[in-house]
């Protein structure tokens, strides 16, 4: 899910993120499907999704953020209101996107050239609600001289970094576009389309 609010100089958005292994909230009693008898029913749905993914998409990777990641499967089940069909569809797209884009291979070193410009970064502190904060300084973005693919890699890396800083039980990261000093040459519709597709493919 992505929600956006704006002011004169700042644009803020929230992104819901799949859980890390350490997040306790994914196993809370409220995670059970409506009308279900509790954890047993939820576990059966998780198993059903995993079995379908293994049967229908055996080529998808396993392990963390893979087709057999219990926490990730449960998060998508909750997000899709415990519809197995919808969870399988959304998980397949999300995992394929991560695989095709090479998210697991991204590192600070691999995005170093643009990272050092300070155009985007994850703040050292959480916000008052305990959310990691991703800041984009629009005035430092120059699409005419910066490689669009490298921009996309930096974006994906920083979203991943922010997600990995989520405290136990948290599901939102806060994104802030700093629009101070923004000029026509900083505008980049293609990058905004990528950002929307990134959020949609993983979290919508």
Q: Is residue 32 within 8 Å of residue 42, measured between CB atoms?
A: yes
pLDDT at 195: 86
Answer yes or no: is pLDDT of 36 > 80: no
Q: Kindly list the distances between the CA atom of residue 116 and the CA atoms of 53, 112, 125, in Å, as whole numbers in the listed order.
A: 39, 6, 19
pLDDT at 16: 64
Q: Are residues 130 and 157 in the same domain?
A: yes
Answer yes or no: is pLDDT of 101 > 50: yes
Q: How many domains is the chain built from?
A: 2
Identify the domain boundary among 78, 103, 128.
103
Average pLDDT over every residue of 41-65: 94
Q: Are residues 129 and 196 in the same domain?
A: yes
Q: Are residues 16 and 29 in the same domain?
A: no
Q: Are residues 83 and 183 in the same domain?
A: no
Secondary structure E strands in the chain: 2-6, 10-16, 120-122, 133-137, 172-178
Q: Are residues 117 and 51 in the same domain?
A: no
pTM of the model: 0.78
């Amino acid at each position: 899910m992505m929600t956006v609010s704006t002011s004169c100089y700042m644009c803020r958005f929230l992104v819901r993120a799949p859980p890390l292994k350490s997040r306790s909230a994914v196993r809370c009693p409220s995670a059970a499907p409506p009308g279900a008898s509790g954890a047993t029913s939820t576990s059966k749905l998780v198993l059903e999704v995993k079995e379908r993914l293994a049967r229908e998409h055996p080529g998808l990777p396993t392990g963390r953020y893979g087709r057999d990641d219990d926490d990730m499967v449960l998060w998508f089940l909750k997000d899709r209101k415990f519809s197995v069909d919808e969870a399988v569809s959304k998980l397949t797209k999300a995992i394929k996107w991560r695989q095709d884009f090479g998210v697991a291979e991204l590192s600070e070193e691999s995005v170093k050239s643009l990272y050092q410009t300070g155009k985007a970064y994850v703040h050292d502190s959480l916000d008052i609600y305990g959310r990691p904060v991703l800041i984009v300084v629009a005035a430092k973005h120059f699409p005419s001289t910066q490689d669009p693919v490298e921009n996309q890699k930096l974006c994906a890396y920083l979203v991943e970094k922010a997600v990995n800083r989520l405290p136990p039980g948290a599901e939102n990261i806060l994104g802030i576009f700093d629009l101070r000093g923004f000029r026509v040459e900083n505008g980049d519709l293609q990058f905004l389309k990528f950002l929307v597709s990134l959020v949609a493919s993983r979290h919508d």
